[in-house]
């Protein structure tokens, strides 16, 4: 069982690790295997490999503008006026994406570059 893909392999190899190497599917990065890589092979043994990958992916995403709040005593207390709505910006965010057997299990931002800064909006509040 290699990352959910079942196959029957018949190769001359002394250990699980040697079998995976001979089959062209060696362990990489944080991959795990059951039984352990150093386990001697036996007839009918089932080997389960879990493929773990960390990849960097960059996505262009919007950068939300902030709103400046200005207290305006000339307005009624419940009134709000958008003086300037502001404009969103654009940023490139690089994520470290974790995948187990090809399925994304999590992502964390590791870097970002502002391409176009956001322009703040102005909100007058009574």
Sign of CA dihedral 37, 38, 41, 45: negative
Give me the residues of the chain with pLDDT under 70, please: 1, 3
Q: Identify the domain containing residue 7 by its residue range.
A: 1-50
Does 71 share its domain with 123?
A: yes
Sign of CA dihedral 59, 64, 65, 66: negative
| pLDDT for position 106 | 96
* 43 and 57 part of one domain: no
How would you classify residue 12: left for phi > 0, otherwise alpha for psi between -120 and 50, otherwise beta?
Answer: beta
In this prediction, residue 3 carries a pLDDT of 66
**What was the pLDDT predicted at 73?**
83
pTM for the complete prediction?
0.66
Q: Are residues 82 and 36 in the same domain?
A: no
């Amino acid at each position: 069982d290699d990352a959910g893909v079942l196959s029957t392999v018949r190769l001359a190899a002394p250990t699980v690790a040697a079998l995976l190497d001979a089959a062209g599917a060696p362990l990489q990065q944080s991959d795990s295997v059951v039984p352990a890589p150093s386990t001697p092979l036996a007839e009918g043994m089932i080997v389960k490999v879990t493929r773990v990958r960390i990849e960097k992916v960059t996505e262009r995403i919007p950068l939300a503008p902030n709103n400046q709040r200005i207290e305006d005593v000339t307005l009624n207390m419940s009134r709000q006026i958008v003086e300037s709505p502001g404009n969103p910006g654009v940023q490139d965010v690089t994520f470290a994406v974790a995948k187990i057997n090809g399925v994304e299990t999590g992502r964390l931002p590791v870097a970002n570059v502002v391409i176009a800064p956001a322009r703040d909006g102005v909100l007058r509040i009574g």
